[in-house]
Amino acid sequence: MDNFTHSLVGWALGQTGLKCKTRKGLAALVLGANMPDIDVFLGWMPWPPLAMHRGFTHGLIGGAIVMPPLLAGLLWLLDRWQISRGQRFKSGFAMRFRWLLALSWLGALTHPLLDLQTTYAVQLLSPFSTLWFHTETLFIIDAVIWTVLPFAIWLSRRRERAGGAWRRPAIVGLVAICAYVGLNGVISLASRSALLARVPHPPEILFANEEPVLFWRRSLIWRQDGRIGRARYDPLRSLREISGIGPGVPDNMADPLVRRAMTATPEIRSFMRWSVMPMARIVEKKRCSATILFSDARFGEPDRGGLLVRRVWLPLAGPACSPGR
């Protein structure tokens, strides 16, 4: 999910009353909810689980156990420094480190749980396993969440300033979002069942992508026998039927040139570690070189371009390619 959504969830949790448990409680929830995305700055790290987005920092070990104490410690040190400078805190809350640590953990835990709902997936068991987990219940930027949680937070803060019952709007907003995620889970399962009833045998891997705004629709993408298939599902038209299903396109991952190109550069090796459903196209093959485009089928095909497409130039061996010829 996007960081605005992660921040909204942390903020809404604070408005349920949790921010009153300790000074800097709201900061712990909001920063904790965003903290796992620090891995976007760590692509240079020599340790692959840490250098990969949605790897170690999004897992149950790194993201939910190791990092929250670091955040709580930094917030506590900041608080000590502010006190040493004579700063006064308008909230009037006491500093309770145990609560600060608990809220840092809670905020951090919401991050992989939210990312788990998207087709981007997360490596929950990193660094012990590179298996990707996903439930496909939310689009990466969800209009419903962007509407419900800001309204709940605004109403909560308005009542807080007026001295009313301010915790209830945030609680209702979070419960509504949980129900919304559950509904999307049911739709995704129904779309999968509709597809499985149409294909001769279960796909090797299958994703049911939620569409932006029209959250009830699904774009089904799967790999079967070296081909990428696509279809659409709309429960408002039929609960058991899918549309747009075709013969699929070859992923070309068994091609010898593609196999060589997969390890040709550090960038493509990193991409292959991240990609769950890779596919490739040989777009140019000359006497002494070949150009191969890679993409992840979840986000488009290689020859259609995009930010997630990787290009690899591969030298070819042969008598005509020897030096001096």
Query: Taking all residues of the chain, what is their mean pLDDT, rounded to a whole number?
Result: 88
Answer whether 2's CB lies under 8 Å from 163's CB: no
Residue ranges with strand state E in the chain: 205-210, 218-224, 227-233, 249-250, 278-285, 289-296, 310-315
Burial class (CB in 10 A: 0-12, 13-18, 19+), 305: exposed
| 214: Cα within 13 Å, side-chain hemisphere | 10
Q: What is the pLDDT of residue 306?
A: 65
Residue 171 lies in a domain: no
Q: Is 221 found in the same domain as 266?
A: no
What is the count of structural domains for the chain? Answer: 3
Q: Is 243 found in the same domain as 275?
A: no
Q: What is the pLDDT of residue 44?
A: 60
Q: Is 283 found in the same domain as 304?
A: yes
- Judged by DSSP in three states, 295 sits in strand
Q: For 56-71, write each residue's pLDDT tens digit.
A: 888 888 888 889 999 9
Compute the average pLDDT of residues 298-308.
Answer: 75
Q: Is 280 found in the same domain as 223?
A: no
305 pLDDT higher than 70: no
Q: Which amino acid is at 319?
A: P
180 pLDDT higher than 70: yes
The better pLDDT of the pair 49, 134 is held by 134
pTM reported for the whole predicted model: 0.86
